[in-house]
Chain A
Amino acid sequence: MNRKRRRIALLVSSLVVLAVAVVLVLTALQDTIVFFYSPSDLQKKNVAIDTPIRLGGLIQTGSVVKQDNNVIEFTVTDGAASVNVHYKGIVPDLFREGQGIVAEGYLKSAHEFVADTILAKHDENYMPREVADALKKSGHWQGESKAP
């Protein structure tokens, strides 16, 4: 094999690997992306029932109902609209009323959301960025934080 053919072999093998990667990336991006919605988004846009989505907003004060068997129900609001959330499992350390959260799951009906995961957030000032943006959009943003 001469130099030229070696180069071509190298080039072809690189292109094959790259092509495989591109195909993998494109199919994965199509199938695995999860969109984020605020409660008002859910009202406005027609989100299909049973597709995985993320929902973010504030936990409405007074809405948290803890039942036996680790089932918890609460309302997520962005000030303009709200959605009932149903979750079975242990909630993160910082889960409390008035706190911003992001829940991953799917819609069971137009106003009922079943969460598979509630994302744990790391500190008391922390507001998930998507939630902050959603609150700004709905006009219920109260400033950065009540940091000491």
Chain B
Amino acid sequence: MIIELGHFALILAFCMAVIQCVIPLIGAERGDVGWMNVARPCALIQAALIIFSFAALMYAFVTSDFSVVSVVENSHSAKPMLYKISGVWGNHEGSMVLWVLILSVFGAMVALFGTALAPSFKARVLGVQGALGAAFLLFIITTSNPFRRVFPAPVDGNGLNPLLQDPGLAFHPPFLYLGYVGFSVTFAFAVAALLEGQVNASWARWVRPWTLGAWAALTVGIALGSYWAYYELGWGGWWFWDPVENASLMPWLAGTALLHSSVVTEKRGVLKSWSILLAILAFSLSLLGTFLVRSGVLTSVHAFAVDPRRGIFVLLILAVFVGGSLTLYALRAPLLKADSFFAPISREGGLVLNNLLLTVAAATVLIGTLYPLILEGVDGGPITVGPPFFNMTFGPLMVALLVIMPFGPMLAWKRADLLGAAQRLWWAGLLAAVTVLTVLTIVRQGPYLAALGIGLGVWLICGAIAEWTSRIKLFSEKTSRAWARARNLPRSAYGTALGHAGMGVLVLGITGVSAWRVEKIEALAPGQSMNVAGYNFQLESIAKVQGPNYWANRAVVQVTQGENHVVTLYPEKRSYPVAGMATTEAAIYTHWISDLYVVLGDRQGTPESGAWAVRVYRNPLVDFIWIGAIIMALGGMISLSDRRLRIGLPARRRVVPPSAPLPAE
């Protein structure tokens, strides 16, 4: 009964979404306030219906209702509760319901908190959101209904793919979707602004928090996915330039560009049409990612759908929204006039360069991802565009971006003094240079580029610190005054510094693991040992153990360094009888700043020899990659909490003038 109600609620939500799209848009065009006001209740009811529907689906998974097809296909009664819940979005149908759930909740938030928006503008934003909701709800109802029943109901389910039964992956899709769908709000704002024909500072002030939130969530989502790949797939790698990974990287790059350009639009009233275009692109790339992953064009662990109807449907949604918004952009963008001008050497100029490099980098990722598909389409034969391609194209562009990054926040608006910025950065540059020389002379092994990479990381981190110290005038004024300044510094300034420093930490991690990773494979019988990078790994024993829904061969590996015992590791090779598949559970121990990573392979040679393949990695600095990403996301969240970005503030400020002048930025 609850299942049918959930299904019914989804259909009602679709009807609501259609009304939310059509009536307010017509109302806004005609200037009819009554019609415009329809948007708010529609958005709220739609969100309530979808929340109910999602709860119904979750109920089916939690109670293991095997009369529902998607539960049968993706759940099992013996599965731990966390994975019963994450199983809701661990499959195609459920993940699409999660998508529309987030979309409708965001729509409801705009409806609830958007009291300061002009009525016609708000109606248009919600109308566009309604159109998106309607399209995706129709997609779910017609091609991927999660509430389909099966009769007779099987006794038990097929279980979730064991690789997906992992805490990291349980939360990876929701964060990713928060990011993707968060960009739908900026998209709706962009399209509404084009319909209105004007963009002002309050537009950018609205778009910034949504971009920040979406960007931070996407950062966490990508980091979780990468961390999952690192410890669950057992290859010791953290990024594979897999098309599905690229699909999430592209909106991130466009979102990062939007994050920066919307600042310029808010503060200086320039780059308006560019910010609009970026808002459209960020969401279009999110949709493209959905299409690539959901259509079955790409084969991957994430690609659930193999039904061609679904691919065509998502392609249609993509064509309508991307094509429509870009056409609108072409028609309306010339109307947007800049409020001021800037010299090439200025904060604005720096941000333009940042945007240029980010979007071009996103374009190279797009080419690398789509080229094999296009070549196959014109019958050029199946090919692979692998990591070397991205290292050669994406790499140099990113390095250029990172080298100039610390200069950006040091430049003044409108017209800046490059020499002055360089003077405030001299010690960061000096430290970076000293680091490069130190790495070159002390470490000696590894490529020269590695030293430069470490230097770049130090440059970014010190650059971020230099920005902070120069803002609070730490060394040029009395310390007590500097601390007072530090307390009054807007949170968005801390956000910038953290974001940039996080990037530096990330660069250190990438460089470390790419340049100095050590890998060794050997066949070991119990009692034998191998030496890797100064550590001794002894395979003590191997035993069979039973888990909740699997059994495993678990090895006991004693790790020693010289005389000292470091740690005992337990790598496993699990076998999931329900799914009929095996997974590798790598054992990872972080010793100082390196990860020791042990994987148990197959039994080797004759059964009597009792030898097992053991693969050992030492991955230096690898954890910095995810720590860096978390610092970046944290920077985004701190920026988001800046009082100047709080939603609704533009309206209140008009009534109550700020008591104390805000510190100059």
Contacts and interface: CB of A to CB of B under 8 A. Distances in A.
A89 B405 CA distance: 42
Contact of A66 (B158, B389, B604): B604
B602 A13 contact: no
B392 A28 contact: yes
Interface in B219-253: 233-235
B392 A32 contact: yes
B371 A68 contact: no
A18 B382 CA distance: 28
Contacts of A70: 521-523, 601, 604, 613
A13 B356 CA distance: 9
B599 A67 contact: no
Interface in A110-131: 120, 122-124, 126, 128-130
Contacts of B605: 66-68
Most buried by A among B342, B353, B523: B523
Secondary structure at the B interface, as helix, strand, loop or mixed, is mixed
Contacts of B344: 1, 6, 9-10, 13
Contact of B364 (A1, A24, A35, A129): A24
A54 B601 CA distance: 23
Nearest to B301: A122
B73 to A, nearest CB: 10
Contacts, number: 122
A29 B299 contact: no
Contacts of A126: 299
A6 B364 CA distance: 27
A25 B393 contact: yes
B278 to A, nearest CB: 14
A70 B389 CA distance: 30
Interface residues of A, number: 44
B393 A31 contact: no
Interface in B148-204: 158, 161, 163
A148 B371 contact: no
Interface in B83-111: none
Contacts of B426: none
B397 interface: yes
Nearest to A91: B602
Interface string B607-631: 0010101010000000000000000
B521 A89 contact: yes
Given A24-B392, A89-B521, 15 more contacts: A17-B357, A17-B397, A21-B364, A29-B385, A34-B384, A66-B605, A68-B604, A69-B523, A70-B604, A88-B521, A90-B599, A93-B583, A122-B163, A122-B301, A123-B581
25 contacts: A3-B341, A6-B341, A6-B344, A10-B352, A13-B356, A17-B397, A21-B360, A25-B364, A28-B388, A28-B393, A29-B385, A34-B386, A36-B382, A70-B604, A90-B599, A90-B613, A91-B601, A91-B602, A93-B234, A123-B163, A123-B301, A123-B579, A124-B579, A130-B382, A133-B382
Interface of B: 158, 161, 163, 233-235, 299-301, 341-344, 352-353, 356-357, 360-361, 363-364, 367, 371, 381-386, 388-389, 392-393, 396-397, 521-523, 573, 579-584, 599, 601-602, 604-605, 609, 611, 613, 615
